[in-house]
């Protein structure tokens, strides 16, 4: 057994066929395989199992904003997330680009690899002016050439997104979490708060 396995860090199979089988397991089946729920019953068990599988144990295949953690470390981080996020907010929103979308997503928890479901503007208390700005931002993204990304002004585009995320937060209020970058919470005063160092995690790029 490797030192990493001794520390409780999940080691994916070195055999590619077996690894593919691991990747298609449901979150509940993966939790059973890895013992994620043995002696551990968090309030939001479904989201916990998703977090353990997708954000921690699959980030060798699909990088996330979370580092590789042991099961004990992942449990500690999850309980902190329940305390600081689930206990405080009714839902979690992310401003994130995707072709032909509203660019607003209902994520299962802050920082998640899974974007969740797209949220249509009609289901949020947004003024028409803000909706039009979101649409214009989306049109700009949809119009860029994916084969020549260097021609797109990503820095300015991200800055526009920051402003939209701030205005979205102003509209949805204090009981809805908003992020534009994973684990970087948009606060009601327009500033952002990175939760990475407060979780004992390294800052994401």
In which residue are the tokens 């990493």 written? 4
134-140, long-range: CB < 8 A, 24+ apart:
134/102, 134/103, 134/104, 134/164, 137/103, 137/161, 137/164, 138/97, 138/100, 138/101, 138/102, 138/103
Boundaries of every domain in the chain: 3-86, 91-199
| pTM of the complete model | 0.88
pLDDT digits over 103-134, tens only? 999 999 999 999 899 999 999 999 999 999 99
Tell me the CB-side half-sphere exposure of residue 103, using CA atoms within 13 A. Answer: 26
Name which of 117, 54, 64, 127 is nearest 91 in CA terms.
117
In which residue are the tokens 């979308």 written? 101
Burial of 32 from C-beta contacts in 10 A (0-12 / 13-18 / 19+): middle
pLDDT digits over 61-100, tens only? 898 888 889 999 999 999 999 999 999 999 999 998 887 8
**3-state SS, residue 80:** helix
């Amino acid at each position: 057994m490797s030192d990493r396995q001794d520390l409780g860090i999940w080691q994916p199979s070195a055999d590619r066929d077996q690894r593919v089988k691991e990747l298609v397991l449901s979150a509940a089946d993966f939790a059973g395989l890895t013992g994620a729920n043995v002696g551990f019953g968090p309030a939001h068990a479904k989201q916990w199992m998703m977090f353990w599988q997708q954000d921690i144990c699959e980030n060798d295949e699909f990088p996330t904003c979370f580092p590789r953690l042991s099961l004990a470390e992942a449990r500690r981080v999850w309980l902190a997330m329940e305390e600081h996020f689930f206990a405080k907010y009714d839902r979690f929103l992310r401003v994130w680009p995707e072709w032909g979308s509203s660019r607003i997503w209902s994520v299962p928890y802050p920082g998640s690899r899974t974007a969740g479901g797209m949220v249509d503007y009609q289901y949020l208390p947004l003024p028409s002016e803000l909706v039009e700005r979101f649409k214009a931002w989306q049109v700009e993204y949809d119009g860029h050439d994916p084969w020549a990304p260097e021609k797109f002004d990503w820095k300015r585009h991200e800055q526009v997104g920051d402003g939209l995320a701030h205005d979205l937060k102003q509209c949805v209020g204090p009981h809805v979490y908003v992020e534009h970058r994973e684990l970087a919470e948009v606060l009601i005063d327009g500033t952002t708060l990175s939760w990475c160092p407060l979780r004992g995690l390294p800052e994401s790029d």
